[in-house]
Every structure is written in C-alpha cells, then in structure tokens.
Amino acid sequence: MQQQQNTGTQQGMMQQPPSVITTKDHLYLTDMLSWNLIAMKKAHFFAGQCSDQQLKSELEKVGKMHEQHYSKILTHLNPNQEAYGTQLQ
C-alpha cells in the first residue's frame, strides 16, 4: 500500500506545458473566444444606443477590454504571429 502512494509522488512536475491542446482545452478556449467576442459586440451595440455620454464611454471601455482579451487569447494560440485585429461591423 505504501508503494502505491509513492508512485504518484515520484513523477516529476513538468517544466514546460506540452505543445498539444486536448479536446477539453480546445472547447474551453473556443468558449473564451466566443464569450469575449459576444461581450465586445454587445458593449459596442449598447454604446451606440446610449444617450448618456458617461455611460457610453464606460461601455466603449468595456468593449475595448473584451477586444484586448480576445486578441490576447489569439496571441497565446499563435505565438509566432501578431494578434489578429478584430473589427466591429
């Protein structure tokens, strides 16, 4: 019994994460990209509908924040390429 407990602790920790993405990781990354894209689009839409300039400014900041998060995730997924610019249409 003691031997079984030690086998789990004898394995060393990874110094660097593997360069593969599991299905679960892929689904989570897809969700994160979708959440940020949707939040960015909603903030942009509501900022366009808003008549209060202070609220409009805050909504634009929120949209920019989600756009930056979206770009940062893409940068991590494509480290050898520049972040993709997202354009609201």
In a domain, 43, yes or no: yes
CA dist 13 and 25 (Å) reads: 20
The answer to whether residues 45 and 59 touch, using CB atoms and an 8 Å cutoff, is: no
Q: Which pLDDT does position 83 carry in this prediction?
A: 47
In a domain, 73, yes or no: yes
pLDDT in tens, the chain (89 residues): 555 555 555 677 888 877 788 899 889 999 999 999 999 999 999 999 999 999 999 999 999 999 999 999 998 888 776 545 544 44
Q: Which pLDDT does position 2 carry in this prediction?
A: 53
CA dist 34 and 64 (Å) reads: 15
In a domain, 51, yes or no: yes
Q: Which pLDDT does position 5 carry in this prediction?
A: 54
Q: 14 to each of 11, 19, 43, how far by Cα in Å?
A: 9, 12, 40
In a domain, 40, yes or no: yes
Q: Structurally, how many domains does the chain consist of?
A: 1
Q: How far apart, in Å, do the first and last CA atoms of the chain sit?
A: 63
> Is the model's pTM score more than 0.85?
no
Range of the domain at 72: 23-79
Helix (H) or strand (E) holding 81: none
The answer to whether residues 57 and 13 touch, using CB atoms and an 8 Å cutoff, is: no
